[in-house]
Chains A and B, each alone.
Chain A
């Protein structure tokens, strides 16, 4: 008994020390997050409650945001644009991600390099590239007019279409990586087993691979949506004055009107929008998993 009693107190502090020691590696990243994320977000929330003219506490910027149809239109444009980009990216990324995860072809490395290659060029460079292709006097319109298919340029840039095309190109590599990683995590023997039991290739994809790759699809949707919603350069260049989204409106409020409280309100709305989408996506993934019994 006495031996047990003397051993117990000695073991407890040792265990506490080691469990505390486990947190030490977290200190540097948490400090960085606190200084460069938590404190600025707190400051931004504080600024959003200031009156732009007197700097006194006020809800005037919130009131203006939620009652002004220009602001609401900007919010809706952001939602529609980000939703379309998320869908386009995921639909285009799935076959590429599946090929990269399962193929043993020597072309796999080439396809992988091509999928990731757009990331090697900057966003602004790629967006200018699309502008040259899509604008009224761009490559597509010139070719269409020259061949007599259309008489006047098609509106391909400075609108929703142009921005969705540009952003899909920017975000696509991230969607491919998310889906590829998810499919790589699925045991290939499951597909073989289903085929041995008589399932067609399409049936295996539909009933085995697709349900198990739902986390990858959700990740792709979430990443694409949040990247599109917070993108500035592509909507600014390909959307122009006629297609303003929250990110470009925030820039205007800071740089032109020097109205920081309004910019802070818009940034908070954008943040809440992205958090809500992430939360909804995670919940949907769980429900889908349950529904598909995987």
Chain B
């Protein structure tokens, strides 16, 4: 009998432990490369240590591929937390595919700048801010540019790389050039497309992936390009002779969000992770590690970081902020126009 009891107890314990372990596992989907290394070191490992929740990191797929998976599976993509953009957060929320956050489920949400948080809607927790910067090779262009007009200079013919329209940077560049040439961000973007048609003649080609785009500037084939400032800063820090700026005509931010699909298996753990990522210490670690901005105004980071990143509402006000839900509805029409006016001009 004692042996039977012991056996029974160990079976119950093992089953219980297994179910607890299963419940306390979390699948986080995000990016690979330097992003994976930094998020593991600065966010995931401290989170695991603090909560005891085991995190499975899934680096497969871009934000748009992840969102397509969420749509295809009707909110059951197999991961619990995903890194996407404010535009996808708004769309997924409207479609009922993403969980809504509240101060109860994610207490740190109230610590974010309300204006920034509103842009991402109820289903997106803004965990980082970047902006489309103008990046250039300092060994090729001696005087620091301040305007997008650098890309149009005759000496840069064949020395510029552009994103394909499937990289949201392309639409953002059209919008920025539209404002620069007398148009606006949404309804009158014709000046932007006209300018892009001229810029297409300068380009060496179009690439979808930011990782591929940066190879052109690394090997010196390209001297200037639009690029997300976080990645530009990482390239600078790696010792590459590049620098970047926020052009005087304005630029558009990339508002990155954490999202939880409605069918996530480990929803409670997912909410804990989102909240942990928004903690002051986590945001400080992320801003200094991945070289991006934050929606938390109370973070303490060196002045040198604050000078180049978006960390306050004032910084955000200096940027161009199109209505992201309207931008999303315009993309198919703009995509066609991009093929006709921009890609065709490059040929």
Task: Give the B-binding residues of A (Cβ under 8 A).
Answer: 68, 70, 136-137, 158, 240-242, 244, 252, 254-259
Q: What residues on B are CB-neighbors of A241 within 8 Å?
A: 164-165, 205-208, 343
Contact (A258, B68) CB under 8 Å given A68-B336, A242-B346:
yes
Return 10 A-B CB contacts under 8 Å, by A number: A240-B164, A241-B164, A241-B165, A241-B208, A242-B205, A252-B335, A254-B68, A256-B166, A256-B331, A258-B91
Closest to A244 in B: B339
- Known contacts A70-B340, A137-B221, A241-B164; A256 and B64 CB within 8 A of each other: yes
Residue pair B347, A242 in contact (C-beta under 8 Å): yes
Q: How far apart sit A240 and B161, CA to CA, in the bound complex (Å)? A: 13
A240-B205, A242-B206, A242-B347 known; A258 vs B340 contact (CB < 8 Å): no
> Is A259 a contact partner of B332 (Cβ separation < 8 A)?
yes
Q: Which of A256, A257, A259 has the most CB of B within 10 A?
A: A256
Check if B51 is an interface residue, CB within 8 A of chain A: no
B336/A255 in contact, CB under 8 A: no
**For the complex, is B10 an interface residue (Cβ under 8 Å from A)?**
no
Contacts of B71 in A (CB 8 A): 258
Q: Are A70 and B206 in contact (CB under 8 A)?
A: no
Q: Which residues of B contact A242 (CB under 8 A)?
A: 205-206, 343, 346-347
Number of interface residues of B (CB under 8 A): 26
B67 close to A257 (CB less than 8 A): no
Check B340–A255 contact: CB distance below 8 A. no
Whether the pair A258, B67 counts as a contact (CB closer than 8 A) is: yes
Residue of B with least CB distance to A157: B205
Among A137, A244, A258, residue most surrounded by chain B Cβ atoms (within 10 Å):
A258
Q: Closest A-chain residue to B340, C-beta based?
A: A70
Is B331 in contact with A257, judged by CB distance below 8 angstroms? yes
Query: Are A70 and B68 in contact (CB-based, < 8 A)?
Result: no
7 closest cross-chain pairs (CB), A and B: A241-B206, A241-B164, A256-B166, A255-B68, A255-B64, A257-B332, A70-B339
Q: Which residues of B contact A136 (CB under 8 A)?
A: 204, 221
CB of B221, distance to nearest CB on chain A (Å) = 6
Q: Which of B303-347 contact A (CB under 8 A)?
A: 331-332, 335-336, 339-340, 343, 346-347
CB <8 Å contact, B332 and A158? no
Q: Which residues of A contact B146 (CB under 8 A)?
A: none
Interface string of B102-120 (1 = CB under 8 A from A): 0000000000000000000
Tell which of B67, B71, B164, B221 has the most Cβ of chain A within 10 Å: B164
**Using an 8 Å CB-CB cutoff, how does the interface string of B192-206 with A read, 1 for contact, 0 for none?**
000000000000111
CB distance from A78 to the nearest CB of B (A): 16
User: In the complex, which residues of chain B have a beta carbon less than 8 angstroms from the beta carbon of A252?
Assistant: 166, 335
Within the assembled complex, what's the spacing in Å between the Cα atoms of A68 and B67? 27
Give chain A nearest CB distance to B212 CB in angstroms.
Answer: 10
Is B65 in the interface zone, CB < 8 Å from A? yes
Shortest Cβ distance from A53 into B: residue: B329
Task: Please name the residue on chain B nearest to A136 by beta carbon.
Answer: B204
Contact A158 B205 (CB under 8 A): yes
Q: How far is the CA of A259 from the CA of B208 in the complex (A)?
A: 19
In the complex, which of the residues B67, B208, B332 has the most CB atoms of chain A within 10 Å of its own CB atom?
A: B332
Cα A68 to Cα B65 with chains together (Å): 26
Residues of A within 8 A of B164 (CB): 240-241
Chain B's nearest CB lies how many Å from the CB of A122? 16
Q: Which residue of chain A is the closest to B332 with respect to CB atoms?
A: A257
Q: Within the assembled complex, what's the spacing in Å between the Cα atoms of A70 and B68?
A: 23
In the complex, residue of chain A having the shortest beta-carbon distance to the beta carbon of B65: A255
Q: A255-B166, A256-B64 are in contact. Are A240 and B206 (CB under 8 A)?
A: yes
Which residues from B are CB-within-8-Å of A255? 62, 64-65, 68, 166
Q: Which residues of A contact B204 (CB under 8 A)?
A: 136
CA distance A240 to B208 in the complex (A): 9
Contacts of B68 in A (CB 8 A): 254-255, 258
Cα distance A206–B284 when bound, in Å? 77
| Alpha-carbon gap, A158 to B207, bound state (A) | 11
Closest residue of chain B to A73, judged by CB?
B339
Q: B78 to chain A: closest CB distance in Å? A: 17
Query: Residues of A contacting B166 with CB < 8 Å?
Result: 252, 255-256
* Bound-state Cα–Cα, A136 to B161, Å: 14
- B64-80 vs A, CB cutoff 8 Å, 1 = contact: the mask equals 11011001000000000
Q: How distant is the Cα of A118 from the Cα of B346 in the complex, in angstroms? A: 34
Min Cβ gap B82→A in Å is 15
Contact partners of A240 in chain B: CB under 8 A: 164, 205-207
Cα of A70 to Cα of B337 in the assembled complex, Å: 10
Specify which chain A residues have a CB less than 8 angstroms from the CB of B339 in the assembled complex. 70, 244
Asked if A70 contacts B347 (CB within 8 A), the reply is no
Which residues in B have their C-beta under 8 angstroms from that of A70?
336, 339-340
Q: Which of A136, A241, A258 has the most CB of B within 10 A?
A: A241
Q: Per-residue CB proximity of B226-262 to A under 8 Å, as 1/0?
A: 0000000000000000000000000000000000000
CB neighbours of B340 from chain A (8 A): 70
Residues in chain A near residue B335, CB distance under 8 A:
252, 256-257
Besides A254-B68, A258-B68, A259-B332, 16 other A-B contacts (C-beta < 8 A):
A136-B221, A137-B221, A158-B205, A240-B207, A241-B205, A241-B206, A241-B208, A242-B206, A252-B335, A255-B64, A255-B166, A256-B64, A256-B165, A256-B331, A258-B67, A258-B71
